[in-house]
Chain A
Amino acid sequence: MKDPMNLVVAGVGGQGNILISEILAKAAAAVGYKVTVGESYGMSQRGGSVTSHIRLSRKALYGPIIPAGCADVIIGFEPVETARAASDFGSHNVKIIVNPRPVYPVGVLMGKDNYPEIDILLGKLKDISEKVYYIESTAIASQAGNPVMQNIVMVGALAGFNHLFIPKDTFVRIICQVVPKKVLDLNKNAFNMGYDAAQKLNYI
């Protein structure tokens, strides 16, 4: 496996980046990686972009910012934020897992800015990246019981693609540790549905 492995999680404040980077980092640590997570979330509750950088290595401890063009995997909770992160950190080697459901910026809602056609935007990424996988994580999470669990669906998808070589069981064990008991079953269900969605895409 490539070392270091660099992941970007890109989304909007309130979409649950922080929990996801905690789950990914703990799962990676559990299988022996040295882990660094860099997060910027100071103003995130105010509807801004939130990105987390997760860096895994067997050899060394890496810094909290991924160099330009060096992401191996981008998990995008929102199309425009995915494209924003990809334009900085993507390359022809990057695999992108994206939730295609938009969260409109306030400038778009106010009619000042335009939101791009999602298929055109993601199509451009597809042309120049190794892979772009659509995971309808908000829709899947709604089926699982609550659309806010789209972040857990995306973790399931990442596990299903097995880009990190972290066993499914390890993810489930960490989810049991970090998710409150009363919503644990819902979250496990969301994780499994994300996992299955990715497995299906893997065999296409």
Chain B
Amino acid sequence: MGWKDVIEGRPGEKVLLNGNEAIARGAIEAGVCFASSYPGSPTTEIIETLAKVPAGEIYTEWSVNEIVALEGAAAASFAGLRAMCVMKSDGLNVAFDFLTSMNLGGCKGGLVVAVADDPQGHSSVKEYDSRYLAKAAMVPVLEPSNVEEAKVMVIHAFELSERIKGPVILRSVTRISHSRGLVVLENQLERNRTAFFPSGECFLTKTVFHMKARDRVKKAAVVLEECGLNFAEGPEQADTAIFCSGTSLLYAREAVNILGINGDIKLVRVGTTFPLPENFIISQLRGVKNVIFAEEIRPFLEEGVMLLYARNFDHKVRFFGKLSGDVAGARGSSCGEMNVDIILKALDCVKGIHYDKPGYPPDKIEEIKALIPPREYAMCPGCPHRASFWAVKTAIAVDGRDCIVAGDIGCYCLGAWDTGFNLFDTLHCMGAGPAIAGGLSKLGRFGLKRPALTFVGDSTFYHAVIPGLINGQYSDSDFLCVVLDNGVTAMTGHQPHPGTEITVDGVAMNKILIEDIVKGFGVKCEIADPFDNNAVTEKVCEMLREPGVKVLILQQECALVSGRKNRHKKRVYVDQSLCRGDACGCSRFCTSVWGCPGNIWDHKAEKAAIDEAVCAGCGVCASLCPAGAIVVEGRG
């Protein structure tokens, strides 16, 4: 993996890195001292790489959430050190209150907020354009177009931050962070590495500092005009220009190459999308009749350029973008990610150059697609969440009051879909579940009689759940909060959290116990093992009937973590002499309902079977099989 090259590579070497590793290398070259983050795809390798830098050089932290991460990084900046805070786009919402406050008073050492958006939602529940938040917070935005440039722009971002004395956002996207490319390593800059926070130097927030933030943006605009990150390529005079930012530059280049019209089309790459380099853009708009915009997610650059045009020109320019609907993929404009084909289609619309798309004949594609089943996300073999969901689903059925289930964000968001028995009635952001359950429990006086239950994860608990629970307790709400405690932040690749016993760099810590926290504010808390499925069902039934806020922690290690420990796993198999097949009346419970990838149907024998290569050996299906046909070796 690339982290070794990031840390051990020598200046001048050309190494293959993914975008996150390149961002980490940029931070190292820029002399970063402090790096913090809450794990979110597609950004996690940035901190994971920085954490491997030999001891003491960089302080790295998996923080409990993004606002805490940013506050810590800002502290380092206040003391004159270079600091980086990393988050996915959703995380910027969490950090936003502090970002908007801090940016009024400003900071000192370079402070870069690396935010990765996820166009198309490859690993997110939403696709979100963080540039609009950056603009609202009056924080400059730099957007790299490829992996190597991601490294270079980090260094630019630190320098800009120190010149304007405010934070700067580096906007990555999945197709930068999770792409690989060749990166030339450079020397580490000689930087101040001594923290110095003299008495009398204050970093405060005050309404009139709004003017400071405004002036900082103005100063950034001047710096960014000259920074070399905005450039044009192709003919100087062209009737059509493609204004692009981020990876769209590469797609636009490829599109004009495919059509062979490089000589006719000007490409204008805007690397600093906020504040816009006004003089550069105005000069590039001169003499142009058509402008096409190519950028990820929403029409941010497009809106900015059109405003500049409205103020500065009276000649007619036609604009083609997401606002006009001409730059749109399969999901329509402003949704889904950019690609070469979208730009080819826009060029057809503007220049009338038709592109004969290569590929199989459409009727053949239809024939093939008709044969292909969907591949929906599924919980892993032996995942404790499946067991937890099943126990709760059964308890809700037994309870008979049609309990409403508020979900939350993590692997267990799959509780909203088939693999999680379609258990969730609501699913939003981290921490939303308990507060929604609390709100629902207050609606009895308006006629709502259904009880409320919420699922949260352990990492989510520390991140965002505690206020919702305290609020529930304070407002005398009635709901059951089930904490799915698998010991790590599983969804993003098993990063540690305060319940894991280690820090980002592997240092042992005392666990901060969830049960201690909730008992501390007077909430009843019980702990159970989801693999002891029937007992959990009974426990949930009992707790659902009790008044007040209750917490049930279902503890069982993430199946991927326990699988990697290479412990001897229990053999689970079907005794086909006991399996009654379709005559059982269970409707093939183990395969068609339980849905663990380890449970398969033996079509020859017309009986259940276990795919022993896939099975994790948890044995929960054995306790659920009505015929008792599934055997766990060594269990009496």
Contact = CB atoms under 8 A, between A and B. Distances in A.
Interface of A: 12, 21-22, 25-26, 29, 34-43, 45-49, 60-65, 67-70, 80-81, 83-84, 86-87, 89-93, 104-116, 120-121, 124-125, 127-129, 147, 178
A165 to B, nearest CB: 19
A69 B592 contact: no
Contacts of A69: 357-360
Contacts of B186: none
A29 B2 CA distance: 14
Nearest to B560: A45
Contacts of A121: 368, 371-372
A89 B18 CA distance: 23
A104 B16 CA distance: 33
Interface stretch (B92-100, B203-211, B392-400, B595-603): B595-603
Interface in B104-149: 118, 122-124, 146-147
Interface in B142-185: 146-147, 174-175, 178-182
Contact of A36 (B146, B174, B368, B377): B146
Given A110-B418, A111-B601, A84 B182 contact: no
B12 interface: no
A128 B16 CA distance: 35
A107 B378 CA distance: 9
A25 B17 CA distance: 10
A201 to B, nearest CB: 23
Nearest to B371: A116
What DSSP secondary structure best describes chain B's contact surface?
Answer: mixed
Interface in B449-467: none
A107 B418 contact: yes
A182 B633 CA distance: 31
B621 interface: no
Contacts of A89: 359
A40 B178 contact: yes
Contacts of B14: 29
Nearest to A121: B371
B361 interface: yes
A110 B595 contact: yes
A49 B378 CA distance: 11
A123 to B, nearest CB: 11
Given A83-B368, A91-B360, A92-B360, 12 more contacts: A35-B181, A38-B175, A39-B180, A42-B42, A43-B123, A63-B340, A65-B175, A65-B339, A107-B373, A108-B373, A109-B595, A121-B371
B278 interface: no
B304 to A, nearest CB: 23
B36 interface: no
Contact of B339 (A48, A67, A86, A116): A67
Contact of B360 (A61, A87, A104): A87
Contacts of A29: 14, 16, 182
A48 B592 CA distance: 19
Contacts of B180: 21-22, 25, 35-37, 39
Contacts of A22: 1, 16, 180
Given A63-B247, A83-B368, A47 B375 contact: yes
B41 A42 contact: yes
Interface of B: 1, 14, 16, 18, 41-42, 118, 122-124, 146-147, 174-175, 178-182, 247, 250-251, 253-254, 257-258, 337, 339-341, 344, 357-361, 364-365, 367-369, 371-380, 411, 414, 418-419, 560, 588, 591-593, 595, 597, 599-601, 613
Contact of B340 (A21, A65, A84, A105): A65
Contacts of B372: 80, 83-84, 87, 116, 121
A53 to B, nearest CB: 9
A79 B250 CA distance: 31
Contacts of B359: 68-69, 89-91
Given A111-B588, A128-B364, A63 B380 contact: no
B375 to A, nearest CB: 4
Nearest to A21: B180
Given A38-B175, A47-B378, A124 B16 contact: no
Contacts of A81: 375
Contacts of B123: 40-43
A26 B16 contact: yes
B373 to A, nearest CB: 4
B591 A90 contact: no
B146 to A, nearest CB: 6
Contacts of A107: 373-376, 418
Contacts of B365: 87
A118 to B, nearest CB: 10
21 contacts: A22-B16, A26-B16, A36-B250, A39-B18, A39-B178, A41-B122, A42-B178, A45-B380, A46-B379, A48-B376, A63-B250, A69-B359, A91-B359, A93-B358, A105-B376, A106-B597, A109-B595, A109-B601, A113-B373, A124-B364, A124-B371
Contact of B369 (A65, A87, A129): A87
- Could you say which of A12, A39, A108 has the most chain B C-beta atoms within 10 Å of its C-beta? A39
A29 B107 CA distance: 41
A42 B174 contact: yes
A127 B364 CA distance: 10
Contacts of B597: 47, 104, 106, 109
Contacts of A125: 368
A75 to B, nearest CB: 16
B126 to A, nearest CB: 13
A145 B21 CA distance: 33
Q: In the A-B complex, list the 4 residue pairs whose CB atoms are closest, starting with the nearest.
A: A42-B123, A69-B359, A63-B250, A69-B358
A65 B344 CA distance: 14
A163 B147 CA distance: 26
B591 A109 contact: yes
Contact of B124 (A36, A42, A47): A42
Contact of A67 (B146, B247, B254): B254
Nearest to A47: B378
A35 B183 CA distance: 10
